[in-house]
Amino acid sequence: MSPTTLKIILTGHANLEAVGNAIKNARLYRYVPKPWQSEDLKLTVVEALHSYLQDQKLVEQRIQLEELNKQLEILTRDQAKIIAERTAKLEKANAKLKKANQELEQLAILDPLLQIANRRRFNEYLLKEWERLCRERRYLALIFADLDYFKQYNDEYQHQAGDHCLIAVSKTIQRSLRRPADLLARFGGEELVIVLPNTNPEGAIKVAERIQEEIALLKIPHSRSQVSDYVTISMGITAMIPIKGCSPSTLINIADKALYQAKNQGRNRFVLEVI
């Protein structure tokens, strides 16, 4: 007999305790005591059938609900997987886009040959530091540097060698700069420029001396130089506390003038010019 079968007992026992035990142990749906009427028994059976059908319907609905829950779990899991995959793809695409933008930004501010700041970056940085140090009333130094007899170097060793020479010199100067705030940029041709925030004239001279020493250690041959058998550099130095009413062009003009003097005095040297 199925555990779900509903049972009805017909009894003639008058002992209520015995009837109660029978109901309890047999898990009866109902008991009908004698004398019983056929109509009562019929109604009892109909009610039992109705109750059984209701229970079966509930069981079926529960099974259907469980199946729907399983399908929903699978769908939710699939949706979560799809969302995770799309999120990962989106993050990957965003990372690529960010990297591409960073590369574009770098291209916009770097010299393609020397991989140092270009003229545009130099102008922006110099203006920013000029305004900042004007507020703080602190020194800003500038060094213009030019390779000596570089045209003759290119004529003798060809332009590819000239490029390698420029790269070696710019790397050496970059290593000579000790602070992250110091900026080396290509001003044009073989002319380089160094921005030294918070640097007085004495500090700028120390930087120039260190640069000269490091370039001398490179010992890049230059047979057509009139001052040395190796590549040398001339530098013009200036330093001032920025003031309102002046612009960074003031600093540029003074440093350029000092570089011109260094060349006129025989090259392979630096000249300091201050206001």
Q: Which domains, ranges and CATH numbers included, belong to the chain?
A: 119-272 (3.30.70.270)
Q: Is residue 72 scored above 60 in pLDDT?
A: yes
Determine which one of 91, 190, 202, 214 is catalytic. 190
C-alpha span between 242 and 139 (Å, rounded): 7
Contact indicator for 26, 3 with CB cutoff of 8 Å: no
The amino acid present at 78, given as its one-letter code, is: D
Q: Is residue 272 scored above 60 in pLDDT?
A: yes
Is residue 190 flagged as an active site residue?
A: yes
Q: Is residue 183 scored above 70 in pLDDT?
A: yes
Tokens representing 126 are 């110099």
Contact indicator for 127, 192 with CB cutoff of 8 Å: no
> What secondary structure letter does DSSP report for 249?
H
Say what the pLDDT of residue 62 is.
87
- Give the residue, 57 or 258, on which the prediction is more confident: 258
Lowest mean pLDDT among 33-47, 67-81, 174-188: 33-47
Q: What is the pLDDT averaged over residues 99-122?
A: 86
Contact indicator for 251, 217 with CB cutoff of 8 Å: no
Say what the pLDDT of residue 51 is.
73
C-alpha span between 200 and 137 (Å, rounded): 12
Lowest mean pLDDT among 21-35, 128-142, 220-234, 260-274: 21-35
- Confidence band of 119 (pLDDT split at 50, 70, 90): very high
Say what the pLDDT of residue 11 is.
65
Phi first, then psi: give them for residue 124, nearest 5 degrees: -65, -45
Q: Is residue 35 scored above 90 in pLDDT?
A: no
Say what the pLDDT of residue 152 is.
97
Say what the pLDDT of residue 41 is.
67
pTM: 0.66
- CB count in 10 Å sphere of residue 141: 27
| Per-residue model confidence as pLDDT tens digits over 4-25 | 666 666 666 556 666 666 666 6
Computed over every residue of the chain, the mean pLDDT equals 88
**CA torsion 41→46→52→55, rounded to 10°?**
-130
Phi first, then psi: give them for residue 204, nearest 5 degrees: -65, -40
Contact indicator for 168, 153 with CB cutoff of 8 Å: no
Q: 254 vs 56, 90, 138, 206, 250, CA distance in Å?
A: 100, 52, 18, 19, 6
> What secondary structure letter does DSSP report for 115?
-
Say what the pLDDT of residue 49 is.
73
